Amino acid sequence: MPPMPKDTAIFIDLENVYYGLKKYHIDPDHPDETHNLFLRLQEHYGRESIRLMEAYADFEQLDLSMMSLQKKRVHIHQVYGNGRDGKERKNAADIQLCLDAMEVLYEIPEINTFVIVSADQDMIPLLDRLWSRGKRVELFCLCDESLSRTAQLHEFCDQTHNLFEFLNINGFQNLTSLDRLIHNAVVQIYEWYHDPNNIGKSYGSTWIKNDFMRKFHLDEIEANQLFAKLLKGKFIIPVEIEMDDKTYYGYKVNLNHSQVQTMVKIAGYKVS
């Protein structure tokens, strides 16, 4: 049986995807294979048919293991940004990706399928150029409110894929703002107790609400309302911690709650 032709090239704007998934507390290099972007791509296209898998980002700003990616046969491209986060973040990852894809187009003609993985529609000019040269073009993107409703992505490529569905995290693209706040709050509290600096400590309601205001940009009333919803929905439960002959009162996530288990698992943590 002849070997499968290595005719697929995958280009990942990892900077974009990382921050797009981060707001859902989802790690693209997830420990669960069913949620891991790189392993899912290999499974979908076949490891033997993939000639290139290129990832572009300022890795100094991302909480990702380059060694882990390299073990998955991902070629790393370090593209330095301006060191900022959120809306102020800017780098040239998408530009470098486009340049490299065009280079492959002309220098490796046996590549028939170009796969672009990005969190938005910035790659439309590249998609159009590749498609017009007779190549099969597929796009993976986050189909949530960050995607322009006017972007007719299907007109510029052969197939589009919803990253939420592809990574088996269906439903997250349809979260309401309140649902997302609850999800983020649960993971925030869970991660607080996993911080080595907080071993043996209790996470009190005042600290929790203050962190809600600081991390989620809420005012005091909104933080109080969010905390009340977590309690009412039994997403969190009160705990008592004994330390230095004193009792401290705080709150932990309720890991007996099925929704909490799902949130924590999607964030990349194992729940027994």
Domains of the chain: which residue ranges?
8-174, 177-266
Please provide the CATH number assigned to the domain covering 177-266: 1.10.10.10
> What average pLDDT does range 116-143 have in this prediction?
86
pLDDT for 85 beyond 90: no
Please provide the CATH number assigned to the domain covering 8-174: 3.40.50.1010
pLDDT for 88 beyond 60: no
Integer Cα distance of 1 and 8 in angstroms: 20
Tokens of 12: 């990942």
> What average pLDDT does range 79-86 have in this prediction?
64
Three-state DSSP class for residue 96: helix
> What average pLDDT does range 183-191 have in this prediction?
91
Residue 263: pLDDT band by 50, 70, 90 thresholds?
A: confident
pLDDT for 191 beyond 80: yes
Most confident region among 25-34, 148-157, 223-232 by mean pLDDT:
223-232
Supply the mean pLDDT for the chain. 86
pLDDT at position 237 is 94
Do residues 203 and 192 touch, judged by C-beta distance below 8 A?
A: yes
Angle subtended at Cα 26 by Cα 22 and Cα 259, rounded to the nearest 5 degrees = 120
Residue 25: pLDDT band by 50, 70, 90 thresholds?
A: confident
> What average pLDDT does range 28-40 have in this prediction?
92
Percent of the chain with pLDDT over 90: 50
pLDDT for 168 beyond 70: yes
Tokens of 20: 């797009």
Do residues 44 and 84 touch, judged by C-beta distance below 8 A?
A: no
pLDDT at position 151 is 55
> What average pLDDT does range 236-243 have in this prediction?
86
Three-state DSSP class for residue 51: strand
pLDDT for 199 beyond 90: no
pLDDT at position 172 is 65
